[in-house]
Amino acid sequence: MNPKQAFVAGSVALTITFVGGGWISKDSHAALYNRLEKSEPTNVRMAAKDDFLQALGAASEEEVYHSLLQGQSLADIAGTHQKDIEQLIHLQTAELTAQLDARLANGSLPAEVYEAQKAELTEMIRKSVYGVTNA
């Protein structure tokens, strides 16, 4: 996989993580997603997706997907639409923090893992938004 493909895959993964769960293995993803589907009202998930698209200035998920495939970062997409990139970072950080908090509260995430993931969350999101790879 070339660096551009890796970046696109990572950005799409972060976007999916933002909407439906995170830091989980492939095997447990379906189970967690099903739990989230049952525990989180549809209007909350839709509001989060709408907030994300609004923060980007994008009209649809398809627009975001195609822009990422063309090599743009989330920051590029937001910049194109004259949106505040820091607002996007804050939005994603808040959403993922809420998911971490919920997983800690329901016992599906040990406290030490919670602390480690929470500590690196904002920087991980910032790198993803700006398209910084760790290659």
19-51 pLDDT per residue, tens: 444 444 444 344 444 544 444 555 545 556 788
Residue scoring higher pLDDT (60 or 15): 60
| Residue 13 scores a pLDDT above 70 | no
Number of H helices, E strands in the chain: 7, 0
What is residue 31's predicted lDDT score, i.e. its pLDDT?
46
| Any domain includes 122 | yes
Closest CA to 37 of 50, 53, 16, 21: 21
| pLDDT(110) > 90 | yes
User: Quick one: which H or E segment has residue 133?
Assistant: none
- Residues comprising the chain, all counted: 135
Tell which wins on pLDDT, 105 or 7. Answer: 105
**Cα–Cα distance, 59 to 105 (Å, whole number):** 34
Please give the tally of structural domains in the chain. Answer: 1
Percent above pLDDT 70 for the chain: 63
pLDDT at residue 84 tops 80: yes
Classify residue 135: in a domain, yes or no. Answer: no
Q: Output the CA torsion 22→28→32→34 (10° steps).
A: 130
State the residue range of the domain holding 61.
3-130
Distance CA 105, CA 126 (A): 26
Tokens of 135: 């290659």
CA 13 from chain center: how many Å?
Answer: 7
| Residue 37, pLDDT score | 47
Residue 99 lies in a domain: yes
pLDDT > 90? residue 75: yes
pLDDT confidence of residue 133: 75
